[in-house]
Amino acid sequence: MANHTISVTVNGGKEYLDVPSNMTLLQMLREKLALTGTKNGCAAGECGACTVLVDGEPVNSCMMLAVEADGCEVTTVEGLAHRETLRVSENPKGLSALQEAFVEHNAVQCGFCTPGVLISAHALLERNPHPTDDEVREALVGNLCRCTGYLRIVEAVQAAAKAAPETGAGSLEGGAQ
């Protein structure tokens, strides 16, 4: 089986990696880069625990080959926080506004689905900064949570949306992009 040398930008940093054909993007993130925030759930594109952004759009990383990410920009849950533009004194943990909203609204129970939910919700607010509750639920259809019943997740996403200025979701990144 052939190996492929790929270059991929992960959370803003360029990586040059040697990946086998059958390695999924999820395996690459977790096993090659130790980015274990992204979870392996159903491995069938149903649960969304493995959701990451590829070139700004959410995808199931268990259903994409690492080699397919060659030349792409990948953002994981780790990449939502710790942006250089964060005003650290006001946000000591370095979380994004969306992540903070999940903490404040207790939108996390066991937490296994949370990284994927955050990525999907982040992408939603990027394309639709002020969604309705139905639009939030529709955007999260591919992220199964077995603990929260979703109510607090929807509340947290809406709180983050309301906190953002009318101009867009840029503030979710914690500052100007």
Partner 1 sequence: MHASMPGLSTFDYVKPASLSEASRFLVEHDGGARPFMGGTDLFVRMRDGFIRPQAVVDLKHLPGMRDILYDEQAGLTVGAAATMNQVARHPDVQAHYPLLAEAASSVASYQLRNRATLGGNLCNGSPAADSGPAVLVLGGRLVLYGPSGEREVPAAGFFLGPGQTAIRPGELMTAIRFPILPAGNAGRYLKLGRNKAGDLAIAGVAVFGFPDGQAASGYRFRIGLASVAPVPLRALAAEEVLAANPPGEESFALAAAKAMEAASPIDDVRASAAYRKAMVRNLTLRGLREVWERIRET
Which residue of 11, 38, 51, 158 would you call a contact of partner 1, by CB under 8 A? 51
Site for partner 1 contains 77 (CB under 8 A): no
Nearer to partner 1, 22 or 177 (CB): 22
**Residue at token pair 């979380």:** 95
Determine the distance from the C-alpha atom of residue 161 to the mean position of all C-alpha atoms in its chain, rounded to a whole number.
Answer: 16
Q: Give the DSSP letter string of 64-125.
A: SBGGGGTT-EEE-HHHHS--TT--TTT-TT---HHHHHHHHTT--SS-SSHHHHHHHHHHHH
Q: Min. distance of Cβ 75 from partner 1 in angstroms?
A: 13
Q: Contacts with partner 1 in 9-48 (CB under 8 A)?
A: 21-24, 26-27, 30-31, 40, 43-45, 48
Cβ atoms of residues 107 and 148 within 8 Å? yes
The reply to whether 4 sits near partner 1 by the rule CB under 8 A is yes
How many residues are there in the chain? 177
Residue 176 interacts with partner 1 (CB under 8 A)? no
Name the residues that contact partner 1, by CB under 8 A.
1-2, 4, 21-24, 26-27, 30-31, 40, 43-45, 48, 51, 54, 57-60, 62-65, 67-68, 120, 123-124, 138-139, 141-143
